[in-house]
Chain A
Amino acid sequence: GAVVSQHPSRVICKSGTSVKIECRSLDFQATTMFWYRQFPKKSLMLMATSNEGSKATYEQGVEKDKFLINHASLTLSTLTVTSAHPEDSSFYICSAILAGVEQYFGPGTRLTVT
């Protein structure tokens, strides 16, 4: 149980285009999901907290107009990187809370912007 999926696993896009990444909790309902960014050889940096039915809460320094988060249902959150640039290339990981504080992580999405 407690499986989280992400789609796509890898995406390459051209500079200036937008990319959507999906995060799904497959066998449980998650009122809260989180989006992280991981730079090469670095730890995870929390970008935003996504709550079903309400606006996402962004961490300091994260541009909410660039990284659009939608939590459309209890099993789906999406991250859209708008007008992507090469510096947005990164590994994006989502997580979902099953109960309390325990987070279950998706397998990640490797975004490369050319």
Chain B
Amino acid sequence: AQSVTQPDIHITVSEGASLELRCNYSYGATPYLFWYVQSPGQGLQLLLKYFSGDTLVQGIKGFEAEFKRSQSSFNLRKPSVHWSDAAEYFCAVGSMEYGNKLVFGAGTILRVKS
């Protein structure tokens, strides 16, 4: 069965500190991987995606993620967090083999302290 694990429910970092949000997946097909961000009461905004090629992908707002096939991971990173980054972050995996459906992780709530 397909699944996505985000082991950290909450993470608190200081403004200006670096950030890494973890994502592991279990998937029976060639995965496409995504990170989305959601502010309270809002929809999801795509931060970045990995389809193929370079395993280090750059996204919006200074985020990047690295696909590591051997570890089935797609961790999200940012070198310096801003207070406006406080939100909930979702990792998702999909595949054309599974009808383009996305499987989401449980989400990680990021708190930024000043």
Residue numbers of A with Cβ under 8 A of B are 4, 6, 32, 34, 42-44, 46, 49, 57, 91, 93, 95, 97, 100-108, 110
Give the docked Cα–Cα distance between A17 and B12 (Å).
42
Contact A32 B105 (CB under 8 A): no
Give the docked Cα–Cα distance between A44 and B100 (Å).
15
Interface-facing stretch out of B17-25, B42-50, B62-70, B76-84: B42-50
Chain A residues within 8 Å of B36, by CB: 105
Contact B104 A103 (CB under 8 A): no
Chain A residues within 8 Å of B61, by CB: none
Give the docked Cα–Cα distance between A104 and B46 (Å).
8
Give the docked Cα–Cα distance between A110 and B90 (Å).
19
Contact B99 A105 (CB under 8 A): no
Chain A residues within 8 Å of B42, by CB: 107-108
Within the complex, the shortest CB–CB distance from A7 to chain B, in Å, comes to 13
Residue numbers of B with Cβ under 8 A of A are 32, 34, 36, 41-46, 49, 51, 90, 94-96, 99-102, 104-107
Give the docked Cα–Cα distance between A110 and B43 (Å).
11
Give the docked Cα–Cα distance between A87 and B95 (Å).
32
Give the docked Cα–Cα distance between A108 and B43 (Å).
5
Contact A101 B43 (CB under 8 A): no
Contact A43 B104 (CB under 8 A): yes
Chain A residues within 8 Å of B101, by CB: 34, 46, 49
Which residue of A has the minimal Cβ distance to B4?
A: A43
Contact B44 A93 (CB under 8 A): yes
Select one of B44, B94, B95, B100 contacting A105, CB under 8 A.
B44
Contacts A49-B101, A105-B36 given; indicate if A42 touches B106 (C-beta within 8 A). Answer: yes
Chain B residues within 8 Å of A34, by CB: 101-102
Contacts A34-B101, A43-B90, A108-B41 given; indicate if A101 touches B96 (C-beta within 8 A). Answer: yes
